[in-house]
Copies of this chain bind each other. A is one copy, B any other.
């Protein structure tokens, strides 16, 4: 295989299997090349991905070493994503009343899910997580793409225990958004004790459901090591959890004048999070 096809092959394999670790042998055998040529080809592949701004290729030497594609989103891509999200969020037709916005269209839009997932994958790529966890339903498409980008299993917490989940553990928690007690339920076989979880959700108001997720995971001895939310409401300023990474801030919804105000959150540089 010629060099240009080898580089293309490596990019295809790595980008379609993010977070998965390959040995040098795997690629040397597949491409029928020596290690020195593989190093050159990987350097070219890494250059391309870093120029595009969607992550890097990590090469660890020695035992336990391996070659992995680690996705992330550079600041330029992040700003472009925020602009598009703000443009769409501020459309007054989204106003449902009672402080609610219709957001299903862009939360289920592949072209927006991909850069959002790249960003969160970059934020949590060195967090050494075992699971990406969300609660049904609106954050699932995003969370499943983050799980794919981190090469981790997705765990979905249900609102109600379902027979097809087998034995479950349930908790009650207070949801500020709905101003009432809500339920969450997780299958006993879904996680292992001692695991580490990243929580991904589409929206955070008071942080009640994120806190609920942390509580139900604690029942399984699973620790939450990070939380990413696509949109966080500015109010209430005091949330039930202290640490979370938003992409947008929703500042205000003026229902009378039909004006929605959103603004970009700070960019977290993945290399500063090591």
Residues of A with Cβ closer than 8 Å to B?
3-13, 15-17, 20, 41, 44-45, 47-49, 52, 54, 96, 98, 100-105, 108-111, 113-114, 136-138, 140-141, 144-145, 147-148, 151-156, 158, 163-166, 187, 189-190
Contact = CB atoms under 8 A, between A and B. Distances in A.
10 contacts: A3-B4, A4-B6, A5-B48, A8-B48, A9-B48, A100-B164, A102-B189, A103-B164, A104-B187, A104-B189
Q: Chain A binding site: helix, strand, loop or mixed by DSSP?
A: helix
Contacts of A136: 136-137
Contacts of A151: 110
Contact of A11 (B11, B109, B144): B11
A164 B136 CA distance: 13
Given A108-B147, A113-B144, A136-B136, A49 B12 contact: yes
Nearest to A19: B110
A137 B11 CA distance: 33
Contacts of A154: 108-110, 141
